[in-house]
Amino acid sequence: MSNKVFATLLVGLFAATAAYADIQVTVLPSLAPNFFGSPSWDGYTANAIYAIENGLTSYGDPNSPTYYSQANHFTPSQTIVTGFPSWLGQTDPGSVFGAAFANELGNRMHFGFDISASGGETFELDDISFNSVSSPNAGLDWGWGAGPWYYSPIRIGIAADGTIYDNYQDGSLPVVQVIYVGSGNSYDAYCDTCTTADQQAALDAAALAGGDYWYTGTYSVTGSSGATYSGSATFYVGEVPEPSSILLAGVMLLASAGALRRCSRSRR
């Protein structure tokens, strides 16, 4: 084989290898406890990180509010965060679900993720951004831009040499994988001095105001090659949709207009 032919093959080999450089953005929807005040938040995030790291769709005790489960279809009342005790749309949750749920403050939709690079590509936590839209209406629309961030127990980075960043290291450190419990949003209900019956009425009213809707979260990341990669997941909040409604989901998401009411954002 001539040197010229060998050189041509070598260049072709490197080109083929470079073509496989990629970043996969896998978005994982889950209904979480309310970060703002939930006593089960830390337990939930620990279960979520373990499940995502190990490729599990659920993990933990199903009879505990710390239970992590990937799911994307809920009724409107199940996705309300509250300023009073509630869980999955029910007030006085300690009586309904058990003592472990007594001090929960409702539920928020979260988009967790597992972002992984291959083929020599790397990225930084600071390179990740988030955007979410709800349709019809834009009552839950929000997002956040790229960095600066920091790695933490709920935003774990893994470097190419296997080094794990989970102790508040700078988000500019390059990694090949990041696992995060996620951002999200939900409609809210408050009734500070009400009876339990009044609280239930406030929760039901918030669910009715939100109505049936789709809520989509998208993460984007720019890799070391300069290419940008994205991944999305969608919650359906309402009754089981007709097949035609599923096909029209993408169109519906483009029709977002106007906020329904004040909404409560989750931790970034």
SS3 264: strand
Four-CA torsion 223, 116, 129, 151, nearest 10 degrees:
-100
Q: Do the domain assignments include residue 170?
A: yes
Q: Which amino acid is at 23?
A: I
- For 173-182, the pLDDT digits (tens) are 999 999 999 9
For residue 109, count CB atoms less than 10 angstroms from its CB and return exposed for 0-12, middle for 13-18, buried for 19 or more: buried
* Cβ(80)–Cβ(261) below 8 Å: no
In a domain, 14, yes or no: no
Tell me whether residue 9 is in a domain. Answer: no
- pTM value > 0.85: no
Domain residues for 127?
23-265
Banded pLDDT at 228 (limits 50, 70, 90): very high
User: Quick check: 246 pLDDT over 90?
Assistant: no
Identify the H or E element spanning 201: helix 196-210
| Domain annotation covers residue 105 | yes
Task: Tell whether 3 is covered by a domain.
Answer: no
Select from 104, 28, 113 the least CA-distant residue to 72. Answer: 28
- In this structure, what DSSP letter does residue 101 have? G
- 68 located within any domain: yes
